[in-house]
Amino acid sequence: MKKRWICSALTLTLAAGLLTGCGSSSGSAAGTAGELNIFVWTEYVPDSVIEKFEEETGITVNVSTYSSNEDMLAKVKSESEGAYDVVLPSDYMIEQMIDQDMLEELDQDALTNLSNIGEAYLDPSYDPGNVYSVPYQGGVAAIAVNTSMVDIDITSYADLFDSALADSLVVLDDYRAVIGMTARSMGYSMNETDPEILSQIEEKLLTLKDNIRLYDSDSPKSALISGDCAVGYVWSAEAALAMEENPDIEIVYPEEGAYLFMDNWAVMKGTEHYDEAMEFINFMLDSEVSQMVSEEFPYLNPNTAAVEAMGEEYSGNEAKNPPADVIAAGEYVQNLDTDTLAIYDEMWTRLKE
């Protein structure tokens, strides 16, 4: 990132009686163009977009990354208030952070580009009225299959448990996604809370252990492209990118109904750079910027203006733009109570032992 040059607001009295000083751009940081600390998913916000924002605004952006919502939450809680300004949590995590009073309300008047977001993606159940968040990108936890390496027919999450796939899977390093997929394969909700049913889900979950070769939420496409893994339980955009590199790879949307997600921009409570944060979020809502994002990381894009501009190459690609019936049949993960989350965490620990 660019160096941040700080100009002190010095007032010098010259012999001629002229008053001079060091100019500054508008921003919450006195005497500077501004600075912003953002905490985002790995391989999700293009460097080119960050650079464009810095060039246009003069605001320095410091980027940190995480691999799961839980990692993000633990990190921001371990830091002092204001360490991060903008975060990018998924749907259920937004709700959890609202409940814990961790987010600032957004200045809707400053979000002049919010009209680019399709109505279907606004006013979500996890943040009614988009008081604290606005959507960025979403998608599906789909199945990617290298057809040259797999002999069985894969149409569902349940097929991932087949012993024919021993030591051949790359799966998301995300306990809500993997446990949720297991629950879905049994006909249960991804948000199951009944301890007896969770015990049944754990029993099946542990049978997946022998099939898992690699846990990777950062770049699971790499193991698929290289052939290290024959099948992936991956984000839909990772499948799309793998398909571009290897024509033998196909995407499968599970017949049980898929894990859905929507990631959202939000501002951390106690930020010292609120104005810069709002400027950044509004910039990310711009249709041309959103198009730049989708061209590098082709997830489900709620920015209808960007989708229209990208045309058939994007909208007609089922890996980049999951079909409406897939979305309709899918399920979003919800925020669960502390006791239930402790059970999920124990299940995940036993799977990875």
Which two structure tokens, joined as six digits, stand for 106? 């957004």
Kindly tell me if the per-residue pLDDT of 76 is higher than 50.
Answer: yes
Mean of pLDDT over the chain: 91
Phi and psi torsions of 316, nearest 5°? -90, 0
Q: Are 92 and 68 in contact (CB under 8 A)?
A: no
Kindly tell me if the per-residue pLDDT of 88 is higher than 60.
Answer: yes
Looking at the DSSP assignment, which residues form a beta bridge with residue 63? Answer: 38
**Whole-structure pTM value:** 0.86
Nearest to 182 by CA among 212, 152, 145, 153: 212
Separate counts of helices (H) and strands (E) for the chain: 13, 12
What is residue 26's three-state secondary structure?
Answer: coil
pLDDT digits (tens, 9 = 90+) for 9-54: 333 333 333 333 333 333 333 334 699 999 999 999 999 999 999 9
Largest CA distance in the chain: 87
DSSP H or E run through 289: helix 287-296
Between CA 317 and CA 319 the distance in angstroms is: 6
pLDDT digits (tens, 9 = 90+) for 159-212: 999 999 999 999 999 999 999 999 999 999 999 999 999 999 999 999 999 999
Asked whether this chain's domains 12-137+262-320 and 139-260+326-352 adopt the same fold, the reply is yes
pLDDT digits (tens, 9 = 90+) for 174-184: 999 999 999 99
* pLDDT on residue 153: 97
* pLDDT on residue 140: 96
The domain spans of the chain are 12-137+262-320, 139-260+326-352
* pLDDT on residue 201: 98
Between CA 243 and CA 240 the distance in angstroms is: 5
What DSSP designation does 275 have? Answer: H
Question: Is domain 139-260+326-352 annotated with CATH 3.40.50.300?
Answer: no
pLDDT band at 8 (very low <50, low <70, confident <90, very high): very low
pLDDT digits (tens, 9 = 90+) for 324-334: 999 999 999 99
Question: Is domain 12-137+262-320 annotated with CATH 3.40.190.10?
Answer: yes
